[in-house]
Amino acid sequence: MAGQAQFRKYSNEFLNIGVGARGLAMGSAQVATVNDGTAGYWNPAGLAFVENTNVNAMHAEYFSKIGKFDYASLALPLNGNKRTLGVTALRFGVDDIPNTLFLVEPDGTINYGNVRSFSSADYAFIFSLAQKLKQTEKRAIQFGLNAKVIHRSVGSFAKAWGFGLDAGLQMQVKKWKFGLVGRDISTTFNTWSFNFSEDEKEALYLTNNDIPVRSTEMTAPRLVVGVAREFKLSSKASLLAETNFDLTFDGQRNTLLSSNAINVDPKLGLEANINNVLFIRGGINNFQRALADKDTLNQKKVWIYQPSVGAGFKLQQVRIDYAFTNMANQSSSLYTHVFSLQLDIVNAKKKKSK
């Protein structure tokens, strides 16, 4: 039996998938321009732009529908739209996992009636607060904070609770937009507890498995920097371009710029806006070096990346977004269709004032 506390490089990875079909279609390049309820995930400072009650929802299925990812958020403007409160909920789960601990009877026979199923699920609840710091015609600055509560469970065997903080900043100078997010700035932790029956302990012991008692995994801070600009194409069309740089400091990773001290993972996104009704999007991210396809002899490595495309349609206070993403890379097939819904609930008094 063992208990330990340590940093894990890929802890809470479900929080790095991304939310909203708009952000996923743009290669997750969002921290400089996000300005709706999804900002509670991408950059809490962007919530300061929310003028009406904003509701977002998304459902996606990964790995041939084995993994299910659900997201919902609510953003509420306060104090004359100078502050915004946001609440975000996420769940990534794999259900109906067979438990084969007791598949084999003591006499060596196989009894499929002993197989039971369980779920492994990760939950996150994010509470956000955003504040406008400066607002002029040429310059705007806003700041935001996240408090994250994390719950993870593996059937009845293991459960974890965790907590962490994020902080974000956005600034607009003329036609340029900048974003900065410090994620897990408090060093997010998950404290695990385990619960096994005596029969389960015996089965684990006989199969040479360790029986953990308690452990704590920690997620190191990371920094995301973004810059964007919108280009006017005509009186009714524009093109938004954004690039983000995801900086990690927890040891060498397989990223575009990699070292033991710092790793840089770039993300690129484009969005064409036609009359603020139709949106066409594209993006690339997750640059990595990997073995070339079918090259098993020379061990030659090439650069691969994860592409995505999508579209959106807005009608009054409703926006429907779609993303077609590849969870693998540009040459492998692991495609996912993502749909998300956004709803602005306009206060009746605001309608009259307009």
Q: Identify the pLDDT of residue 101.
A: 76
In this structure, are residues 132 and 139 in contact, taking their beta carbons and an 8 Å threshold?
A: no
Span 124-182, pLDDT tens digits: 999 999 999 888 777 889 999 999 999 999 888 889 999 999 999 999 998 899 999 99
What's the CATH code of the domain at 325? 2.40.160.60
User: pLDDT of 29-78, one tens digit each?
Assistant: 999 999 999 999 999 999 999 999 999 999 988 877 888 999 999 999 98
pLDDT computed for residue 289 by the predictor: 81
> Which band of pLDDT confidence, cut at 50, 70 and 90, is reported for residue 2?
very low
CA angle 325, 329, 331 (to 5 degrees): 110
Query: What's the rounded mean pLDDT across residues 322-336?
Result: 72
**207 pLDDT exceeds 80?**
no
Q: Kindly state the average pLDDT of the residues 260-284.
A: 95
Output the furthest CA–CA distance in the chain (Å, rounded): 80
Cβ atoms of residues 239 and 272 within 8 Å: yes
What pLDDT sits at residue 331? 54
Residue 318 phi/psi, 5° resolution? Answer: -120, 135
As beta bridge partners, residue 189 has 163, 218
Give the residue among 61, 39, 57 at the shortest CA–CA distance from 48.
39
Q: What are the beta bridge partners of residue 219?
A: 188
Q: Are 353 and 61 in contact (CB under 8 A)?
A: no
Tokens describing residue 60: 């996606």
> Is pLDDT above 70 for 241?
yes
Provide the pLDDT for residue 104.
Answer: 76
Q: Which residue has the tokens 């994390």?
A: 150
Structure confidence at residue 335 (pLDDT): 78
Give 186-203 pLDDT, tens digit per residue: 898 888 888 877 777 777
* Boundaries of domain holding 191: 3-353
pLDDT band for position 299 (cuts 50, 70, 90): low
> What domain count does the chain have?
1
User: Which pLDDT belongs to residue 82?
Assistant: 83
Give pLDDT tens digits for 81-120. Answer: 789 999 999 999 998 888 887 777 777 788 888 788 888 9
| 322: pLDDT strictly greater than 80 | yes
The owner of tokens 């040459």 is: 331
Residue 298 pLDDT:
62
- pLDDT score of 297: 62
Q: Is it the case that residue 255 has pLDDT exceeding 60?
A: yes
Q: Which pLDDT score is estimated for 350?
A: 56
CA–CA dist 207, 189 (Å, integer) = 30
- The pLDDT of residue 90 is 96
What pLDDT does residue 84 have? 95
Neighbours of 139 (CB within 10 A): 11
User: What pLDDT is attached to residue 1?
Assistant: 43
